[in-house]
Structure formats: C-alpha cells, structure tokens
Amino acid sequence: DVVMTQSPLSLPVTLGQPASISCRSSQSLVHSDGNTYLNWFQQRPGQSPRRLIYKVSNRDSGVPDRFSGSGSGTDFTLKISRVEAEDVGVYYCMQGTHWLWTFGQGTKVEIK
C-alpha cells in the first residue's frame, strides 16, 4: 500500500497568517496515464469531507483562491495564503493513483 505521511499533524495558526501542510507518499503518484491523482480534503467538525484540490493543484468549484496545491512525484503541499476562521478543521491528502487509495493521517488546523 502507498503510505501517505502528513506534517505537521497539528497546526495552530493566527488569523490572516499563512499555513502550509506537507504530504509525502511512499512511492510516486504519477499514474501510467500521466496524471498525478493527489487530492486534498477539508473536514470541518461534524461534517463530511469536502474535496478542495484534485490532481495536485486544481481547485474545486467554490473553493476560495487562498487555497493552493503544489508538488510532484512524492512530495506535495497544501497552502492557505491567509487563514480565516472557517478554515478550522482537519485536512487530509489522499492518493487515487494506486489501489488501495490511501489518506494521510490528517492535519488539524486551529486558530491560536
């Protein structure tokens, strides 16, 4: 199985400040079709997960542009340019390149 390792696991952030979450995979996430199926999800307390980013850097519809994704191969990053109160929650990376699809452990973002 592909192991997804996120860091940090806890991220206290001041409102208006940037935040960055790292996600590393145990093997390359480049699919044989040339795409890299790395997704980022946000899970607010009491809610279902919501996809924010797909194929490394593509924002889903309705996702604020303060969220951005980058990376390649085995090393990926989610950045929030200026954290807002509604961004509190747990963020997961997830690879969809290799079955079994796998999530990272999650990073809890909270306001300082």
Partner 1 sequence: EVQLVQSGAEVKKPGESLKISCKGSGYSFTSYWIGWVRQMPGKGLEWMGIIYPGDSDTRYSPSFQGQVTISADKSISTAYLQWSSLKASDTAMYYCVRSGYVVWGKGTTVTVSS
Interacting residues with partner 1 (CB under 8 A)? 1, 39, 41, 43, 48-51, 54, 60, 90, 92, 94, 96, 99-106
- Min. distance of Cβ 39 from partner 1 in angstroms? 6
Of 52, 40, 51, give the one whose Cα is nearest residue 106. 40
Distance CA 63, CA 40 (A): 12
> How do strand 67-72 and strand 75-80 relate by DSSP bridges?
antiparallel
Question: Residue 13 or 93: which CB sits closer to partner 1?
Answer: 93
Question: Residue 39 or 74: which CB sits closer to partner 1?
Answer: 39
